[in-house]
Amino acid sequence: MTAEPQPQCALVIGASSGIGAACVTELVRRGYRVAAVARREDRLDSLRDAAPQQVRTYVHDVTEFNTVPARFSEIVDDLGGLSMVIYAAGVMPKIDVDTYDFTKDKKVIDVNLLGCIAWLNQAAPFFQKQGAGSIVGISSIAGDRGRIGYPVYNTSKAAMNTYLEALRNRLSRHGVSVTTIKPGYVATAMTEGMEGLFWVAKAEQAARAIVTAGERGKPTRYVLRRWALVGLVIRCIPSFIFRRMNV
């Protein structure tokens, strides 16, 4: 008698809302057991209640870096393994072009970049030893250039892109994939109230693309795909022209 295959297991950090929550739902739909990590317990409870047999929840602030190793080990033990990690935590405080606020800037770096490093520095050696696995980091097209609107948010995503590329170069020889996700505009709380948005993806639409890219081991995936062309154009604009543009 052939044993039934065990479901794959995934970890989503920043799972309480937006793209992260949509990724949890999409992973559940595909049959994964999922560990959902976030600060807001009530939001996590809603995810767990929607799929109690598949979702485990863990209340955690990604800026509590020292607790990450123990949390990661706990989650792997609880799930009975791990095949995919998605880092979806991110913040972008509202500012204007005359705002220079170190307190806000530090939070952006702590959540978007250092939290990512803290968690993925645990996933990387685990998957390397396992000889398989998928790491997915949700960055942004904003990391492709230094735009005037959100300098430190752009910086956090640019640094995240470089970190993920370095992990990819390290881990590819061990059978581990690392995917950098670069969303354009997605209908979440982060973009709520912004004017002039176009090509806005739904969170569920983004989640489908993200999980598929992770499963296929794509190095980079823009969401929506048309943003790849926009990104190429933006990267090719000379600096002396780009600095005059209101982007």
CA distance 153 to 192: 17
**Domain extents in the chain:** 9-242
Which residue has tokens 């033990």? 77
* Per-residue pLDDT, 247: 72
pLDDT score for 4: 54
Residue type, 195: E
DSSP state of 113: I
Q: For residues 74 and 71, what is the distance between their CA atoms, to the nearest angstrom?
A: 5
The answer to pTM > 0.85 is yes
Dihedral-angle region of residue 31 (phi above 0 means left; psi in -120 to 50 means alpha; beta otherwise): left
CA distance 61 to 76: 18
For 174, the token pair is: 């061990």
User: What is the C-alpha to C-alpha distance for residues 103 and 172, in angstroms, rounded to an integer?
Assistant: 37
Mean pLDDT of the chain: 93
In CATH, what is the architecture of 9-242?
3-Layer(aba) Sandwich (3.40)
pLDDT (tens digit per residue) in 85-136: 999 999 999 999 999 999 999 999 999 999 999 999 999 999 999 999 999 9
The closest of 234, 116, 228 to 182, measured between CA atoms, is 228
The larger pLDDT score, comparing residue 6 to residue 27, is at 27
- Give 244's strand partners: none
151: Cα within 13 Å, side-chain hemisphere:
12
Model pLDDT for residues 183-228, shown as the tens digit of each residue: 988 888 777 767 777 788 899 999 999 999 999 999 999 998 888 8
